[in-house]
Each structure stands twice: as C-alpha cells, then as structure tokens.
Structure 1
C-alpha cells in the first residue's frame, strides 16, 4: 500500500471488507453488521463476566444459576423438568445434565410426579436457595456494572423492547 494521502485501510465493517458476497441483496449493511457484531461481542463478554462471578462466589456455572433461578421463581420452588427446560430455554437432555450436577451438589432434588408417572419434578432445596442467595448480589453487581450503568434509562427501555421482540419471534418458531 502506498503512503499517499489517498491511501485508505478498509474498515472491517465496510461492505467491501466483508468478503465475497457482501453486496448480495440479503447481505447485512454496515449498520446492521455493526449492530450484530456489537450484540455478539457484548453478549459473549457479559456471559463470560457472569460465569466468572458465579464460579468465584458460589461454584456455579451460568446454566446452573439459570436453573436455580427458574426453580426459585416457581410456585413451591419446583417445576416439571419439561416446564423447566422451556423456562430456561435448553434442551431436555441439557437440562438433565445440569440438574444432575445440581442434585449431586445437594442444590436440587428430583421427585416423581404424583399425577403423571411419566413426569419428574425438579425442586430447589434449602441448600440451593442458600447458594442462590449467596451468588445473587454479585450477579446483580456484574449486570449493573457491565450493562445497566453504561446505558441511559431510555436506552435500557429501547434495548428491552427490541430484544423482547427478537425473543418473541424466536420463541414463536
């Protein structure tokens, strides 16, 4: 590349810099690509921060935390495994793995469902509720510092609305 005044390094988000096919009709435009890449980076980095905090404060993974939260919000601190899988948005097999880990740690208990022998309840134990109480303050701090404090109240409302629409569309599939 010459070092003349017209030398220009392409920006990674310019259509020409996006590689072959970038100018196809369904290609993401520069603003769309910037939004997508920012969303990916923010979600990965936030998930990493949350994972570190949960491991440090309570020896939990982020998915395990989600299971404990889901159970803590349910009537009687218990849900059928199939309902819990939908609530925490994981496959039944993935949930079975998570619940097995939590059960081994004494944080969750599985019991048969009295009115449907095919169903199994997952129930938050007292130890699970205590562990959740132990990690929640740090979790809130990470979310607040990494996301909430960076945005204005208006941006938080717009973000919530926008991601809510995306979630609704994906859940409807």
Structure 2
C-alpha cells in the first residue's frame, strides 16, 4: 500500500517536472529570439526590477535565480559586457567591499520585451489544455503585481 502511494507521488512529481521543463524550453527559445535573453538572464532582470532601486548584491541574485556563485558571476559579466549592456556594477557607499548589480535602461527595455514574450508563452501553455486541471486552475489565477 505504502509503495503504491509513493509511486503515485513520484509519478505526479515527474509529470509536473516534465511539464515545467517543456515550458522552460519554450520560454528559453522564445526569449532567445526576442529580446535575445536566456531564461536565467530574464530572471536576473525580473528580480532586479522587484527591488525599488533596481539593484541587488550578487549573492541576493544568486539566491533568487538559483545559480552557483561562479555561474551567477559569469552570467552577470556577460550581461554587463557592451554586447549586452543590461547590467552595471556599483560599489556600495556604506561598505566598500560590497558590490551591487544594477539594471540599466537597456536591461529595463529587454525586461519589458521579455515580459511580453513570457506572458504569451505562459498564456499559450494554460489555454492549450496541456496542463492538468489543477495546475491550469492555479496558473489561471490573477497574479497580483508587486508594488512599484
């Protein structure tokens, strides 16, 4: 009896993980086309946008996005490079050792274009019927926009 329940939980979890992975792949492909971001780059810009000053310490971004310190550092370096220009680093006035990553105007523009893409892909996923009923109901709830 216990193993049947465990198998059911595992089966449900794997189905959910597969649905999430498929949607992530579609998001990645759509964002790469326009505005030329990876999904993790989009997440970095999204989490920066939630901060009043549009800047966070690298460690805070790492926690939000779920990348290792080295992976986050490489990602931020790519996003700061002139080819992308979405981020810039600032030294903290209070703690000279502290470094903040801040979104630029270019980053804000990429984020806005990316949000429209993400919204479209997620809406297509919800309306296509590919999600289990419970997940479709959860995703269809009206999200509350964070205070600006």
Rounded to whole Å, the distance in 2 between the matches of 1:154 and 1:57 is 27
Rounded to whole Å, the distance in 2 between the matches of 1:138 and 1:154 is 21
In structure 2, what is the equivalent of residue 85 of structure 1? 62
In structure 1, what is the equivalent of residue 92 of structure 2? 113
Rounded to whole Å, the distance in 2 between the matches of 1:67 and 1:57 is 16
In structure 2, what is the equivalent of residue 6 of structure 1? none
In structure 2, what is the equivalent of residue 143 of structure 1? 122
**Quick one: which of 109, 121, 137 aligns to 1:156?**
137
Give the unaligned 5+ runs of structure 2: 142-148
In structure 1, what is the equivalent of residue 47 of structure 2? 70
In structure 1, what is the equivalent of residue 108 of structure 2? 129
- The DSSP-based 3-state class of the residue aligned with 1:79 is strand
Cα RMSD, aligned residues only:
2.7
Q: Name the TM-score, length of structure 2 as normaliser.
A: 0.80
Rounded to whole Å, the distance in 2 between the matches of 1:154 and 1:109 is 38
**Quick one: which of 14, 17, 21 aligns to 1:40?**
17
* Residues 1:133 and 1:36: Cα distance change in structure 2 (over 3 Å): same
Larger radius of gyration: 1
Q: How many residues align?
A: 137
| 1:50–1:139 Cα contact (<8 Å) kept | yes
* Residues 1:26 and 1:99: Cα distance change in structure 2 (over 3 Å): farther
